[in-house]
A and B are shown apart, each in its own frame.
Chain A
Amino acid sequence: MITVLCILIGLIFAGATFCLLRRSLMRVLIGILLLGHGVNLLLLASSDPISRNVAILGEDGLPTAAGSADPLPQALILTAIVIGFGLSVFTLVLARSAYMRGGSDDMRELEREEEV
């Protein structure tokens, strides 16, 4: 499973990089959203052990005999998801505002606008 997970991470990063490198504003936005997913998966892949059992203790307050997933990366990812959400919403609104002011969806044009 871990190998497949890693390949998926690679795919997401490749897609995100490609999108970020575009000049079209829309694609750059997509790239930013994709990048967030990639990083979250990367965190998950660092779990030790990667397990299908949930990280919830048994009735007696002790880890279950079957073993449970690593809770730490999950906690980190949870934080990352929420912050990532705030970030993407703000970026989206900002991008829209930039487009409205700059009148172009070409990143290079927008930068030139800024310099002026």
Chain B
Amino acid sequence: MTLSAPILFLLLLAVVSPWWVARSRMSFVVAGGLLHLGIAGHYILLLSGVAGGGGMPAENGADFFPTDLIEWSFLGTAWGLMFAALVSGIGLLVFLYSAGYFGATPKGIRFFLPLLAFEAAMLGVVLADHSILLFLFWELTSISSFFLIGFLHSETTSRWNAQQALLVTGTGGMCLLAGFLMVGTEWGTHSLEAWRGMAVAGREIPMVALALMLAGAATKSALFPFFFWLPNAMSAPTPVSSYLHSATMVKAGIFLIGALFPLFASSAGIMGVIVGMGAATAVTGLALGWVQTDLKKILAYTTLSVLGLLAFLLGLGTVESVRVAVLLLLGHACYKAGLFMAAGAVDKATGTRDLRALAGLAKAMPALWIVCLLLGLSAVGFPPLLGFLGKEYGYGLALPNKGLSLGLSAFLFLANLTMMVLILRVAVKPFRPDAALEAPGVKAIPKLMMLGPAVLALAGVFLGLTSPFLLSPMVGAVVSGIAGDGADYKLALWHGFKPALYMSVATLVGGWFLYKVAVTYGKQNVVTRRLGFAENTYTAMVKGLMVGAAATTGFLQSGDLRRYLHLFFGGILLLVVGNWWVSGFGVARLFASMEPVPLLEALLVAAMAFGILLVVLTMSRITAVLGLAIIGLGMAFLFARLGAPDLALTLMLVESLTVVLFIYIVHGLPKIRNITKPPGRIFDACLSLGVGGVMALLAMKAQSVQLHPSISGTLNEWSYTLAKGKNVVNVILVDFRALDTMGEITVIALAALGVRLVWLRKSEMKAKGGKP
């Protein structure tokens, strides 16, 4: 239970949270905080164990689910445990931040349920070893994210954005499940660890499955062209953006690429696609972020570009690039979550997140200013902070081809430069005095809201400084877990006077200069407008779905009896004939054993056929009654001839009554008319003949089919011995199936009652003088 116990604890806490918070907020915050602290410490200990060369903790509860398809099995890989530590560690800070953010408002009562459920699900995603179990948790993150994005549910945009995120990531989730099932069926196991081993051993993977799993990862991590849902998800409250949409959930896709790295790496094409998507996402995020004015939006777009870079680096597939990705991910998780929380604090204090209205806050909020500066410096890669490592090692990357290496460096340089401008806008611009802007009024913010950013800022400093000792073994274990090598690599802050150092310096200087010069926010340009196509496509698809659904419903549920019957009979024809066509139904065989028909019966059948023709074609009501009478009497005679005198007698009686009633009722009805136009009638005639033909063939076919032995022999035997009756049909009706017959009598009684009631109303209406 070492791995899954925290998940269960968190789920339990999530379920009781609404009542607990409503009862006693303080005790809930303390208990939840302590639980988080314990969980984070637990995972960090496990991680350090794995990093120190110990075995991976595993857990397998095969009997947890009553099915073979899914298993409650977990495995603590270094990569997964690193995520678990991040999720629970930042989870602790976000938990406390949320408590401060919502205070004692009613919103705070219902907020913790989806937040904690999300946290549990995210831990499940990164620790599950069974692919279907992973998928379950994966979907739970999507669903809890839906509730969190749409948390301010009274706003239309909020709901739309929540739905968008759910549809995009949910569709990806379905793809992921399909991919998992394909690989699982093909390879005979659903264990991810076994998959990695098999992929490393060179077992072939279905390309479609890889593409499907990549689609799942790409939608979750908002990679190009699915990026649009992430910035829109900023309609969530700030703690959510900070937690789900920067530090954890959106990295689930990156996690998956890392967790299934050997599978993806087996196909150069898929790796190429990952690199392409990653690069496109990075560029898109920066291009769109360039013109934003909302603090949270800017952060969202930089997150997007970092996600792109992570995918890009993993896609490159070398040990060095994976190491850079891991370092970048660590740094980003710390500084971005902190910056989001800081942006939320600024919002709370000043009431605005608009860059154009914020300046000179340093005097009023000195503590936040220092924290933001530290976070920002880590983000732009200032040594010796944590963010510096990722950037420096990125510049140190080399590809086999010299030209490509140069291109890679140039790409990373430009990306870092742009990102630095965006980060400075968030971390520095609101605090520095601006000649043209007056500092906005500031409200005091809850202390708990300061804790998160401050801790993360200090973590950036601490982890950066101690990275050679503390982080080295962990990063080594993670990298070797993914790429299979590089476990012994020692991180260092100082690499000597090398090109990477010059580029770092150039980035810092150039970025600062560009930040001063380029005041581009708030101005849309060609690029940003063009990039709207992805979201427009989504919108068009959703609208198309609605229109299509309405059209289908309108077509199927028209309220027109003819339409229903057309669909019904047409459907039967299609299904039955289609089935016969496929299974090869021999019609000719059915007519092989035709026996001679006595003249009397032949005449009877001919008369009935005539009767049918009569009722179908006649325009006269009396002729129709005559036709019905012929058919009814024909039926009665047929029964009499075929050894069923009881039926003949009953039918005779019933037919006489029906015909009399029919004449009485027809008396009050108008003449028969042909309302449908001739083409419609011809179509109906063809359809009817088809239905008739199928029924005739079915009846014939039924002769040769006997699914169960007939019970008629038994009934014959029992009739006299048990019920002392010689007329077997009567015995069946009044003895063997007496309850059935009672039901039949009830139906008749109800019908009589119904007729009486309808009739009564009619005469009442007449008494009142015609129509109502």
Q: A22-B675, A71-B715 are in contact. Are A82 and B654 (CB under 8 A)?
A: yes
Interface residues of B in 582-626 (CB under 8 A from A): 590-591, 594-595, 597, 601-602, 605, 608-609, 612-613, 615-616, 621, 624
Which residues in A have their C-beta under 8 angstroms from that of B569? 17, 21
Chain A 4-33: CB-based contact to B (< 8 A → 1; otherwise 0): 111111111111011111111111111001
Complex: how many Å from CA A104 to CA B279? 69
B444 at the interface (CB under 8 A from A): no
Which residues in B have their C-beta under 8 angstroms from that of A92? 661-662, 665
Complex: how many Å from CA A63 to CA B673? 53
Do B669 and A99 touch across chains, with their CB atoms under 8 A apart?
A: yes
Which residues in B have their C-beta under 8 angstroms from that of A44? 639, 642, 644
Kindly report which residue of chain B lies nearest to residue A72, judged by CB atoms.
B712
Do B675 and A106 touch across chains, with their CB atoms under 8 A apart?
A: yes
Chain A 61-105: CB-based contact to B (< 8 A → 1; otherwise 0): 111000011111011011101111111111011111101110101
When the two chains form the complex, which single residue of A26, A54, A82, A115 contacts B672, counting CB atoms closer than 8 Å?
Answer: A26
Which residues in A have their C-beta under 8 angstroms from that of B646? 74, 78
When the two chains form the complex, which single residue of A5, A20, A68, A101 contacts B772, counting CB atoms closer than 8 Å?
Answer: A101
Interface residues of B in 654-700 (CB under 8 A from A): 654, 657-658, 661-662, 665-666, 668-676, 684-685, 687-689, 691-693, 695-697, 699-700
When the two chains form the complex, which single residue of A15, A46, A56, A97 contacts B762, counting CB atoms closer than 8 Å?
Answer: A97
When the two chains form the complex, which single residue of A68, A95, A103, A115 contacts B643, counting CB atoms closer than 8 Å?
Answer: A68
B518 at the interface (CB under 8 A from A): no
B366 at the interface (CB under 8 A from A): no
Do A96 and B642 touch across chains, with their CB atoms under 8 A apart?
A: no
Kindly report which residue of chain B lies nearest to residue A3, judged by CB atoms.
B594
Do B628 and A33 touch across chains, with their CB atoms under 8 A apart?
A: yes
Do A18 and B595 touch across chains, with their CB atoms under 8 A apart?
A: no
When the two chains form the complex, which single residue of B559, B715, B741 contacts A79, counting CB atoms closer than 8 Å?
Answer: B741
Q: A22-B676, A83-B747, A101-B772 are in contact. Are A8 and B720 (CB under 8 A)?
A: no
Which residues in B have their C-beta under 8 angstroms from that of A12? 608, 612, 631, 692
Q: A33-B628, A97-B758 are in contact. Are A89 and B661 (CB under 8 A)?
A: yes
Interface residues of B in 738-761 (CB under 8 A from A): 740-741, 744, 747-748, 750-752, 754-755, 758-759, 761
Q: A26-B624, A79-B740 are in contact. Are A5 and B562 (CB under 8 A)?
A: no
Do B631 and A10 touch across chains, with their CB atoms under 8 A apart?
A: no
Do A13 and B643 touch across chains, with their CB atoms under 8 A apart?
A: no
Which residues in B have their C-beta under 8 angstroms from that of A3? 590-591, 594-595, 700
Q: Which of B185-193, B523-531, B721-729 participates in binding chain A? A: B721-729
Which residues in A have their C-beta under 8 angstroms from that of B639? 44, 77
B490 at the interface (CB under 8 A from A): no
Which residues in B have their C-beta under 8 angstroms from that of A17? 565, 569, 684, 687-688, 691-692
When the two chains form the complex, which single residue of B670, B696, B758 contacts A10, counting CB atoms closer than 8 Å?
Answer: B696
Do A21 and B616 touch across chains, with their CB atoms under 8 A apart?
A: no
Which residues in B have their C-beta under 8 angstroms from that of A107? 560-562
Which residues in A have their C-beta under 8 angstroms from that of B695? 9-10, 13-14, 38, 42
Which residues in B have their C-beta under 8 angstroms from that of A45? 699, 702-703
Do B562 and A21 touch across chains, with their CB atoms under 8 A apart?
A: yes
Which residues in B have their C-beta under 8 angstroms from that of A48? 706, 710, 712
Interface residues of B in 461-512 (CB under 8 A from A): none
Do B771 and A55 touch across chains, with their CB atoms under 8 A apart?
A: no
Minimum CB–CB distance from A22 to chain B (whole Å) comes to 7
Complex: how many Å from CA A75 to CA B740? 11
Which residues in B have their C-beta under 8 angstroms from that of A7? 605, 696
Kindly report which residue of chain B lies nearest to residue A5, judged by CB atoms.
B699
Which residues in B have their C-beta under 8 angstroms from that of A2? 700, 703
Minimum CB–CB distance from A16 to chain B (whole Å) comes to 8
B200 at the interface (CB under 8 A from A): no
Q: A4-B597, A51-B643 are in contact. Are A18 and B715 (CB under 8 A)?
A: no
Complex: how many Å from CA A60 to CA B260? 81
Complex: how many Å from CA A11 to CA B613? 9
Interface residues in A, total, Cβ within 8 A: 89
Kindly report which residue of chain A lies nearest to residue B558, judged by CB atoms.
A111
Do A18 and B748 touch across chains, with their CB atoms under 8 A apart?
A: no
Do B700 and A100 touch across chains, with their CB atoms under 8 A apart?
A: no
Do A72 and B608 touch across chains, with their CB atoms under 8 A apart?
A: no
Interface residues of B in 351-365 (CB under 8 A from A): none
Minimum CB–CB distance from B677 to chain A (whole Å) comes to 11
Q: A57-B728, A81-B651 are in contact. Are A105 and B687 (CB under 8 A)?
A: no
Question: Which of B621, B697, B751 has the largest count of A CB atoms less than 10 A from its CB?
Answer: B751
Do B737 and A21 touch across chains, with their CB atoms under 8 A apart?
A: no
Do B687 and A71 touch across chains, with their CB atoms under 8 A apart?
A: no
B650 at the interface (CB under 8 A from A): yes
Do A21 and B765 touch across chains, with their CB atoms under 8 A apart?
A: no
Interface residues of B in 159-200 (CB under 8 A from A): none
Do A86 and B591 touch across chains, with their CB atoms under 8 A apart?
A: no
Minimum CB–CB distance from B627 to chain A (whole Å) comes to 8
Complex: how many Å from CA A38 to CA B726? 29
Q: A44-B639, A82-B650 are in contact. Are A19 and B712 (CB under 8 A)?
A: no
B574 at the interface (CB under 8 A from A): no
Do A81 and B566 touch across chains, with their CB atoms under 8 A apart?
A: no
Which residues in B have their C-beta under 8 angstroms from that of A71? 712, 715-716, 719, 728-729, 732
Complex: how many Å from CA A110 to CA B576? 32
Q: A6-B696, A85-B657 are in contact. Are A40 and B635 (CB under 8 A)?
A: yes
Kindly report which residue of chain B lies nearest to residue A97, judged by CB atoms.
B758
Complex: how many Å from CA A100 to CA B594? 50
When the two chains form the complex, which single residue of B566, B638, B688 contacts A18, counting CB atoms closer than 8 Å?
Answer: B688
When the two chains form the complex, which single residue of A15, A51, A111 contacts B560, counting CB atoms closer than 8 Å?
Answer: A111
Do A82 and B744 touch across chains, with their CB atoms under 8 A apart?
A: yes
Which residues in A have their C-beta under 8 angstroms from that of B642? 1, 44, 47, 50-52, 69
Do B692 and A13 touch across chains, with their CB atoms under 8 A apart?
A: yes
B308 at the interface (CB under 8 A from A): no
B414 at the interface (CB under 8 A from A): no
Kindly report which residue of chain B lies nearest to residue A85, judged by CB atoms.
B654
Do B751 and A89 touch across chains, with their CB atoms under 8 A apart?
A: yes
Minimum CB–CB distance from B319 to chain A (whole Å) comes to 71
Q: A4-B602, A99-B668 are in contact. Are A10 and B719 (CB under 8 A)?
A: no
Complex: how many Å from CA A99 to CA B193? 73
Q: A17-B691, A74-B647 are in contact. Are A37 and B729 (CB under 8 A)?
A: no
Q: List 9 tightest A-B contacts by C-beta distance, closest first.
A: A14-B692, A10-B696, A61-B720, A69-B643, A86-B751, A18-B688, A71-B728, A17-B688, A75-B732
Query: What are 22 of the A-B contact pairs (CB < 8 Å)?
Result: A6-B697, A15-B615, A17-B684, A17-B692, A18-B685, A21-B562, A38-B695, A41-B638, A56-B726, A61-B721, A62-B720, A71-B728, A71-B729, A72-B715, A85-B658, A88-B658, A92-B662, A93-B758, A97-B762, A108-B562, A108-B675, A111-B560
Q: A11-B609, A62-B720 are in contact. List 8 more A-B contacts (CB 8 A).
A: A1-B601, A4-B597, A10-B696, A26-B670, A50-B642, A56-B727, A86-B750, A87-B747
